[in-house]
Amino acid sequence: MTEKEILTWSGRSSKFLKVLGVVLAIVVVSELIGMVKFAVGPGTVVLLPMLYAVIIGMLITPDVLGKKISALKKLIGNDEIEIAGVGVMIALLPLGVRYGTLVGPNIVKVLEAGPALILQELGNLFTPLLALPIALMLGLRREAVGATVSICREPTLGVIGERYGMSSPEGNGVLGTYIVGTVFGTIFFGFLGSLAILTGLHPYALAMACGVGSGSMMTAGAAALAETVPAAMKDTVLAYAATSNMLTGITGIYSVIFLAVPFTNWYYRRLAPRFEAKDLKIAEQEAE
């Protein structure tokens, strides 16, 4: 290695270690805060450590507190953010392996679920069907593909990141939905879980509905639901939710790869020209 290459590698490795140190500090702080529950009307809102981690991570970036605190900007600059983007993909690889290893031991459960599980995964197609036109109306273009392909949790993050790259418009879209889901999804599911019992549906059916493929959302919804049922049913409710979430995670990857991504791209090709033509017409009118 030349002297220049050695210095470049040394600089990147030190920044990578800095990112790891900051991540570790955020995790420790988030875990020390722990789960927080509070009542809102007839429902209960559940705040999880993952929520605090995302909020703290956003706050310490150069675009937020980094503008005002010079020491913070030196700690986390644009180079560190770029490294963190690559780190997301690296961190998702073990998750993909984990989902893969879950298939074998639980293949009997997957087969026993049969048509019900397959129909549940068709929900991935309704997400782009409803959300893609809205995203295009809001001005998103290829970002809309990543943002609306599913509920955009870790498996989808890995699929889109592997296919398009996290720095691509599609990667920005899926990451945006992921962050919004983490910040607001856990709160929404926690509140929804506490109100769901009022529908009159069986608690076990509601518990299975909590398994949407997101660990944080499932935990928030199931924990809130468990607080509204008799004590003897609590463990079963949590078990049903966890099992449903696991099965959804397993089948969800394949649903996104083979159904949702092709459908969203096809749907985008049909809708985008109309919005692009509208944007061009508006631009010409403004130019006049």
- What confidence tens digit (pLDDT) does each residue in 82-140 have? 777 677 767 767 766 665 665 566 566 556 655 665 666 676 678 899 999 999 988 88
Measured distance CA(77)–CA(17) in Å, rounded:
14
- For the four alpha carbons of 69, 72, 76 and 77, in that order, the dihedral sign comes to positive
Q: Which residue has the tokens 């608690």?
A: 203
Query: Among 112-121, 124-133, 202-211, 242-251, which stretch is predicted with the lowest mean pLDDT?
Result: 112-121
Q: Are residues 174 and 196 in contact, defined by beta-carbon separation less than 8 angstroms?
A: no
Residue 255, helix vs strand vs coil: helix
Q: Are residues 218 and 210 in contact, defined by beta-carbon separation less than 8 angstroms?
A: yes
Measured distance CA(276)–CA(284) in Å, rounded:
12
Question: Higher model confidence: residue 97 or residue 195?
Answer: 195
Task: Using only the alpha carbons of the chain, give its radius of gyration.
Answer: 21
Q: Kindly list the distances between the CA atom of residue 177 and the CA atoms of 8, 167, 201, in Å, as whole numbers in the listed order.
A: 34, 15, 30
Q: What percent of the chain has pLDDT over 90?
A: 12
H or E element at residue 38: strand 36-40
Contacts of 131 (CB under 8 A, 6+ apart): 147, 148
Q: What integer pLDDT is reported at residue 174 of this predicted model?
A: 92
Q: What integer pLDDT is reported at residue 31 of this predicted model?
A: 92
Q: What integer pLDDT is reported at residue 219 of this predicted model?
A: 77
What's this model's pTM, rounded to 2 decimal places? 0.68
Q: What integer pLDDT is reported at residue 7 of this predicted model?
A: 38
pLDDT category, 268, cuts 50, 70, 90? very high
Instruction: Give 140's DSSP letter.
Output: -
pLDDT reading at 267 higher than 90 = yes
Which tokens belong to 43?
């429902």
Average confidence score pLDDT of the chain: 78
Residue 43, helix vs strand vs coil: strand
pLDDT category, 5, cuts 50, 70, 90? very low
Residue 200 identity (one-letter amino acid): G
pLDDT category, 196, cuts 50, 70, 90? confident
Contacts of 18 (CB under 8 A, 6+ apart): 75, 76, 80
Domain span including residue 125: 3-287
Please count the CA atoms within 13 angstroms of the CA of 157 that sit on its side-chain side: 22
Question: Higher model confidence: residue 68 or residue 258?
Answer: 258
Question: Higher model confidence: residue 3 or residue 172?
Answer: 172
Q: Which residue has the tokens 């398994």?
A: 211
Total domains present in the chain? 1
Q: Are residues 204 and 236 in contact, defined by beta-carbon separation less than 8 angstroms?
A: yes
pLDDT reading at 3 higher than 50 = no
pLDDT category, 64, cuts 50, 70, 90? confident
